[in-house]
Structure 1
Amino acid sequence: MQAVALPTMESELRALAWATLLTPACAVYARFAARCLRPGIPRLAALLPTFPVFVYMPCMFSSLHLRLFSTFFHTWLATNKLVLLALDLGPLHPRLPLLPFVLCAGLPIKVRRLQQSQQQPTKNQASSSSSSSPPGAEFLRPCARSVLLLSCLAVAYPYTGWLPLYALHYLYCIQIFLTLDLVFSCVMLVSAALMGATLERQRQFNTPLAVASLNGFWGRQWNLMAVDLLRESAYEPVRARWGRDVGVLAAFLMSGLLHELLYWYLTLQQPRGEMLLFFMFHAAFQIAERWARAAGLWRPPKAVAYLLVTAFMVVTISEMFFGPFVRAGTDVRLKEETVAMVELIWGARKYLLRPFRVASS
């Protein structure tokens, strides 16, 4: 199978330019179609032409990081949000103003409903007027933290050859979290600056490295935007008809299929079902954990639960999730891109911080 071409600055800037043009264009069209058509088949049929655009968009990038984020932002979130919009569900709504609608469609953010956004200025007027920090200032600290820790990882990676496999893969987990948190925090920072305080959720992760429960990790700690959409598009409709456990299986089934698609985007190799097996395995253990808690069979001390669940996560991720990517050499490409990304950020830090120095002075 043909591998993903090596990225160049010219190719990635060209792909970013196309994505920056195509995403708002599709969002503006979707908003216009949704305002003109009633929910259901007519609206879904009108939105169908946008789906191939979002499905193809990751293929424009050669950088694996940009492919990953384009897959998540466009092929996964944007398409899912538009399907929910066709059913008059989800975070998108035709009555949203144009800019919030476009940003919410193409980015992992959730805008407050119109009633909430209209009430918010009167409710928090005093606090917002007394605060001198610019919108989104609370995201600067996680951005700086992620850059610093990713820099430490980039420096340490050449010396990790002696580490056991599970320890190395635990570093991979930390890298994935820091990279996602950095990108999501930057997205939130820019979105908050453009729209003010109209974002519904401020952070997408809730201490995901402190894992004491599978239910807590997948439901309240990891990638909460994806959790919200999976809940609305898979869990809730299936649970309403067949019960909670089948709803959990449906949500993990959808997540597994989407990760199979992500595997293809990153490797251009035919998926073998390992991503799907990983998520269904975790779904079964999540249901079993909840049953055991309800029966009083699983109530260990918090420290013991942390050690056991973390070990379970690391072993299953190492054996079932990272395995296909390691065989394809994706981990090596991602590490090389991480080192290059950190060097680029540190090289441009004085230009990135210049506006905030001016604002603070």
Structure 2
Amino acid sequence: MEETSLKLVNPLSLLLASLGYSYFFVAKIPNGILKLIFLLPVFYIFSIVPWYFPSALLRGVLSFFITWIASSKLLLFCFNQGPLLHCQTFLDFLVVSILPMKIKHKPNSNSSTKLSQSLIFRSALDDRYELVQLFNKPYLATSLKDFWGRRWNRYSSNILRETVYNPTRNMLNGISVGVGTARILALICSLVVSGVLHEMLFYYITCGKKPTWEVTCYFVLQGLAMALEAAVKKVALVKGWSLHPLGSIIYTCGFVVFTFYWLLVLPVWRDGKNSCDKLRV
């Protein structure tokens, strides 16, 4: 029992200490590469936190929220971007870093007082924070772009948009490749990065098993299919063709589910483990 408690305390202490270091010290460093360098130890700590937990489910959840999302938010923070810029207290920094929460644009004028003085803590949190919408009826998506861009896991989609899509598109626009081409290439680049990051999640879930890259192939396939979809829509617009909305929904959901089962579900069933024989910490 004592050994288990220590294992639980250590990662939580590491997490709190890392975020405290980021908020109280690194935040005072000028934005840019220098701030990024000082955050490298935090990125490393975030990468080992999931290994403290024997459960595959916990490793998967923590690798998503801590190793991927929290690290991405800190990366944006290095360059004066992202949701952490709106944090005014260390509590703000903790909540926004590790949870799918954001600061309300117009919190109540007395919310700061409530955070420090109110005994009704839940009410104070409700006044200060709001939950980021994760899903928006993905089963009603009428295209792959609609599914991945506006309906499925909007939390990670927004992070990928800020960290990969926008910088890539801006860079390509700067070398004059064309607006349409820049968007397509930035989209494909974002999905490739998403695939690699999902490989990382599966790496934690399967106790460090060597990646098969089927997960990356899944997201690359989605990106190529979206590019093809956009081209077909342009031709259909010229020809005057149209597809009934119900047909669009069936095609979109059918393609996503089939490829999901083929390239994501089967690899997990084949290689997944519920617990690691030895924790990697």
TM bin (shorter chain)? 0.7 to 0.9
Once the 2 structures are TM-superposed, how far is the Cα of residue 283 of structure 1 from its aligned partner? 0.6
Residues in 2 aligned to 1:313 and 1:104: alpha-carbon distance in whole angstroms: 30
Q: Are residue 86 (structure 1) and residue 78 (structure 2) matched?
A: yes
What's 2:187 paired with? 248
What's 2:147 paired with? 217
Residues in 2 aligned to 1:194 and 1:22: alpha-carbon distance in whole angstroms: 27
What's 1:293 paired with? 233
Q: What letter is aligned with 2:108?
A: P
Q: Are residue 273 (structure 1) and residue 213 (structure 2) matched?
A: yes
Q: Secondary structure at the match of 1:110?
A: strand
Q: Secondary structure at the match of 1:212?
A: coil
Q: What letter is aligned with 1:315?
A: F
Unaligned runs of 5+ in 2: 110-119, 173-181, 276-281
What's 2:249 paired with? 306
* Cα distance change, pair 265–11 in 1 and its aligned pair in 2 (3 A): farther
Q: Are residue 63 (structure 1) and residue 55 (structure 2) matched?
A: yes
Q: What letter is aligned with 1:281?
A: L
Q: Is the CA contact 2:215–2:264 (under 8 Å) kept in the aligned structure 1?
A: yes
What's 2:266 paired with? 323
What's 1:22 paired with? 14
Residues in 2 aligned to 1:15 and 1:223: alpha-carbon distance in whole angstroms: 31
Residues in 1 aligned to 2:144 and 2:52: alpha-carbon distance in whole angstroms: 35
What's 1:53 paired with? 45
Stretch of structure 1 that moved more, 92-101 or 13-22: 13-22
Q: Are residue 38 (structure 1) and residue 30 (structure 2) matched?
A: yes
Once the 2 structures are TM-superposed, how far is the Cα of residue 14 of structure 1 from its aligned partner? 4.8
Superposed CA RMSD in Å reads 2.7
What pairs up with 1:30-179 in 2 under 5 angstroms? 30-93=22-85, 96-112=88-104, 116-117=105-106, 120-121=107-108
* Cα distance change, pair 50–322 in 1 and its aligned pair in 2 (3 A): same
Once the 2 structures are TM-superposed, how far is the Cα of residue 250 of structure 1 from its aligned partner? 1.4
Unaligned runs of 5+ in 1: 1-8, 123-134, 136-189, 335-361
1:232 pairs with 157, 162, 179, which one? 162
Residues in 1 aligned to 2:73 and 2:3: alpha-carbon distance in whole angstroms: 28
**Can you list the C-alpha shifts for 1:85-125, whole angstroms capped at 9, x where unaligned?**
1111111128521101111112222224xxx34xx426xxx
Q: Is the CA contact 2:23–2:93 (under 8 Å) kept in the aligned structure 1?
A: yes
**Can you list the C-alpha shifts for 1:197-248, whole angstroms capped at 9, x where unaligned?**
3335542111123333211111111111111110010000101122111110
Q: Is the CA contact 1:35–1:95 (under 8 Å) kept in the aligned structure 2?
A: no
**Can you list the C-alpha shifts for 1:234-266, whole angstroms capped at 9, x where unaligned?**
000101122111110111111111011111111
Q: Is the CA contact 1:12–1:61 (under 8 Å) kept in the aligned structure 2?
A: no
Residues in 2 aligned to 1:10 and 1:213: alpha-carbon distance in whole angstroms: 52
Once the 2 structures are TM-superposed, how far is the Cα of residue 285 of structure 1 from its aligned partner? 0.8
Instruction: Return the TM-score normalized by structure 2.
Output: 0.81
Q: Is the CA contact 1:74–1:106 (under 8 Å) kept in the aligned structure 2?
A: yes
Q: Work out which structure has the larger RCO, using CA pairs closer than 8 Å and 6 or more positions apart in sequence.
A: 2
Q: Is the CA contact 1:34–1:94 (under 8 Å) kept in the aligned structure 2?
A: no
Q: What letter is aligned with 1:85?
A: F
Residues in 1 aligned to 2:186 and 2:97: alpha-carbon distance in whole angstroms: 25
